[in-house]
């Protein structure tokens, strides 16, 4: 009788699909499970490999199934798709997950703990509130434009929008004042909540040893350092710093053939929050290059600014920062400026 080796689990809200196979890939069972039956089913199975796509709820099920003695493997959905045969359905997805998980070169996602997922929420919620704040500011600006009041774009000019509404000489119609005040109250609420989250992030940065060491890198402040310490995978998941930068999507996309190297735009893979924050941090170094030794004339960054477009330089510097970050995470220590070290 064949021995169960691997089970592919296609996750869903209510109806789950499982696909079991032996070492040769022979199908042993295909089964549908309701949500309440999942843990009971896997509790009765002998210890084996349970593979799932790294999607919503995957880390929760990975933790719960792992407690039953199984080895859990999470696979990025884009790596599973090539193994789906023709028609797309739950059974085909579970089978594709099963086949992808046994590939010797397959890459997996580490199962996150509840603490890590909880700590990451502060960045997701902060991003959401910032987007909603931007929408509110744009709504204020757009509606004021209908009454002939023009204000430049940018969060820094939000106070001018509020001043126009509160100005008694602007002659805004009384019918619109109440609506404008509702938008202003909403904007104030967003500002207060974002400030609370920023204070929480700063507190975490002071308490976390890795975050404190990362903040020694030019362009990395409490927000970026805490985000890296929370969202980045363990450094041992990558063989070298270049692999970490590639995971962040800070390297050119390749479309090479016949020995000819063809490089395109950045891949934008991996954790988009970290990639965006590192580019913002690189931009801050370039803007304030007069106070950074790394950006002085004659340095790598200084020479690059003279020869390359500004956005290309920002991404190149973010790539370099990502490699420095990996080195600090993997080897410890703090950042030392090459100019100072010389």
DSSP symbol at 263:
E
pLDDT of amino acid 318:
94
How many angstroms separate the most distant Cα atoms in the chain?
88
* Boundary (domain end) residue, out of 80, 101, 122: 101
In this structure, the answer to whether residues 15 and 87 fall within a common structural domain is yes
DSSP symbol at 17:
E
Q: How far apart are CA 258 and CA 48, in angstroms?
A: 42
**To which H or E segment does residue 254 belong?**
strand 252-254
pLDDT digits over 139-187, tens only? 999 999 888 888 888 888 999 998 888 887 777 888 888 899 999 999 9
**Tokens standing for residue 274:** 């970290």
**Residue 340 pLDDT level (bands cut at 50, 70, 90):** very low
Residue 313 covered by a domain:
yes
* Chain position carrying tokens 């009384």: 174
Q: How far apart are CA 59 and CA 115, in angstroms?
A: 12
In this structure, the answer to whether residues 221 and 199 fall within a common structural domain is no
Q: How far apart are CA 176 and CA 198, in angstroms?
A: 33
Closest CA to 85 of 69, 74, 96: 96
How many domains does the chain fold into? 3
With a pLDDT cut of 90, the percent of the chain lying above it is 66
**Tokens standing for residue 126:** 């902060």
pLDDT digits over 26-67, tens only? 999 999 999 999 999 999 999 999 999 999 899 999 999 999
pLDDT of amino acid 342:
44
**Residue 339 pLDDT level (bands cut at 50, 70, 90):** low
Domain limits for position 134: 114-207
Q: How far apart are CA 297 and CA 180, in angstroms?
A: 49
Residue 64 covered by a domain:
yes
Nearest 10 degrees: Cα torsion 141, 125, 320, 204: 120
């Amino acid at each position: 009788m064949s021995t169960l080796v691997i089970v592919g689990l296609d996750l869903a809200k209510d109806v789950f699909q499982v696909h079991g196979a032996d070492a040769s890939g022979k199908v042993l069972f295909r089964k549908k499970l309701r949500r309440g039956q999942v843990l009971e089913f896997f509790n009765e199975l002998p210890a084996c490999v349970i593979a799932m796509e790294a999607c919503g709820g995957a880390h929760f099920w990975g933790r719960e199934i792992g407690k039953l003695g199984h080895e859990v493997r999470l696979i990025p959905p884009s790596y599973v798709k090539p193994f789906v045969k023709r028609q797309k359905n739950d059974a085909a997805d579970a089978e594709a997950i099963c086949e992808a998980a046994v590939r010797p070169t397959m890459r997996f996602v580490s199962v996150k703990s509840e603490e890590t997922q909880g700590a990451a929420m502060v960045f997701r919620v902060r991003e959401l509130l910032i987007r909603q704040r931007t929408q509110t500011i744009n709504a204020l600006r757009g509606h004021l434009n209908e009454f002939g009041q023009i204000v430049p774009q940018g969060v820094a000019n939000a106070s001018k929008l509020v001043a126009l509404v509160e100005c008694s000489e602007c002659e805004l119609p009384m019918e619109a004042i109440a609506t404008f005040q509702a938008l202003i109250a909403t904007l104030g609420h967003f500002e207060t909540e974002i400030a609370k989250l920023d204070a929480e992030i700063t507190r975490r940065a002071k308490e976390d040893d890795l975050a404190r060491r990362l903040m020694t890198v030019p362009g990395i402040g409490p927000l970026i350092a805490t985000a890296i310490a929370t969202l980045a995978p363990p450094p041992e998941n990558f063989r070298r710093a270049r692999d970490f930068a590639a995971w962040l999507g800070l390297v050119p996309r390749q479309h090479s053939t016949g020995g000819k190297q063809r490089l395109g735009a950045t891949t934008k893979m991996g954790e988009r929050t970290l990639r965006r924050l590192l580019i913002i941090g690189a931009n801050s170094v370039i803007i304030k290059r007069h106070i950074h030794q790394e950006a002085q004339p004659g340095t790598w960054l200084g020479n690059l600014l003279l020869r390359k477009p500004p956005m290309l330089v920002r991404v190149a510097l973010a790539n370099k920062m990502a490699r420095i970050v990996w080195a600090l995470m993997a080897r410890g220590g703090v950042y030392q400026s090459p100019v100072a070290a010389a």
